[in-house]
Amino acid sequence: MNKKISASAPGKIIITGEHFVVHGSYAVAAAINKRVRVSISEMKNGESCIVSQNSRSSLKNDDGRFQAARKVAQEVLERYGKIREGGIELEISSDIPPGSGLGSSAAVSVATAGALLKFLGVDPRNEEIYEISMKGETEIHGNPSGIDIQAALLGGMVLFSKGAGAKTISLDRGLQLLVVFSGQSRKTSNLIRKVGVRKKQFPAFFECLTEAASCLSLDAVEASIRGDFLRLGTLMNVAQTSLSWIGVSNPVLDEIVELAASHDALGAKITGAGGGGSVVVLPRPESAAALLKRISKKYPMSFITSIPQEGLKWER
């Protein structure tokens, strides 16, 4: 039988601190119940390729598709040598809509690095998977902080800053969040650039907001640990105001945030780069299902997620 190794990694939401984390603040991310699976199979002959449901592309030649997976696979092969005979088929399947702000490219990068390293007989260390996965993330987002990769790699809730790295947070009480995809996909790299322009225009004020994002994130971790959802929701609402100010909200995202607030949610904000993508809502625990039903009428790609503990895992 041909050798086959599969790995999967979760998508993520950002609870506080997106964008400001690129400029040095703390931020809080969490894994979601949607994953990307990557399988590597040996091919006796033929050119190595990347495939997904309806698409096939050569691993060597960049045709603009599968950029994260290609970059990561090329990096692993550069470090650990070529495939001896024939080639490999790298197959990707994903539950995460691309461009939804839910960490699809990070999950692809982490699952690809994990699966391919294992396939080549390397016992992968988290530090190396992170380093290699960042090549894929940088290919797609230009100047990522690394938070999406850490959430996909480690799972659970993660407190992160570029200076301090990632720390997983264990929670006493489970947390349920509602994720609402606006249906508008967008490119994270464009939004990171747009925020960079804002920073140049208002450097002192931007620095204050970056410090505030750190305070919000550290407070959000404390509130999550204690299960103080009222406080966590308030912190998320404050974070939304900063994100609006730096120009990453839009009328559809504002509408979703208002819709959630008008149905008694504890907090709601953009999650990830904004400009489209998704909103994360903290519902009152007893009314999460009812809120999902209401919001799904207008935004059918909404779902409730817990915070799964599993990050990267190898599958049979």
Residues of the shown chain interacting with ligand MEV in the complex, contacts defined by CB under 6 A: 14, 18-19, 21-22, 141, 144-145, 147-148, 188, 192, 272-273
Q: How far is CA 228 from CA 81, 157, 205, 217, 284, in A?
A: 50, 15, 30, 14, 11
Indicate the residue among 145 and 224 with the shorter CB distance to ligand MEV.
Answer: 145
Q: Does residue 251 contact residue 280 with C-beta atoms inside 8 Å?
A: no
Task: Look at strands 49-52 and 87-94 and give their pairing.
Answer: parallel
Mark 172-210 as b/e (b = at least 16 C-beta within 10 Å): eeebbbbbbbbbeebebbebbebbeebbeeeeeebeebb
Based on the residue annotation, tell me whether 62 is a catalytic residue of this protein: no
The two structure tokens encoding residue 68: 């994260």
Amino acid, single-letter form, for residue 22: V
Are 108 and 94 a contacting pair, CB within 8 Å? yes
Neighbours of 222 (CB within 10 A): 13
Please say which residue, 39 or 242, places its beta carbon nearer to ligand MEV.
242
Q: In angstroms, what is the minimal distance from the CB of 101 to ligand MEV? A: 6
Give me the catalytic one of 63, 148, 172, 228: 148
Min. distance of Cβ 145 from ligand MEV in angstroms?
3
Q: Please identify, using beta-carbon distances, which residue of 18 and 75 lies nearer to ligand MEV.
A: 18
Token readout for 91 is 């197959």
Smallest distance, Å, CB 205 to ligand MEV? 18
Closer to ligand MEV by CB, 220 or 291: give it: 220
Cα–Cα dist 111/90, whole Å? 11
Q: CB 85 → ligand MEV: shortest distance, Å? A: 38
CA dihedral (268, 272, 275, 278) in degrees, to 10, reads -50
Nearer to ligand MEV by C-beta: 28 or 88? 28
The number of beta carbons lying within 10 Å of the beta carbon of residue 310 is 13
Which of the residues are catalytic? 148
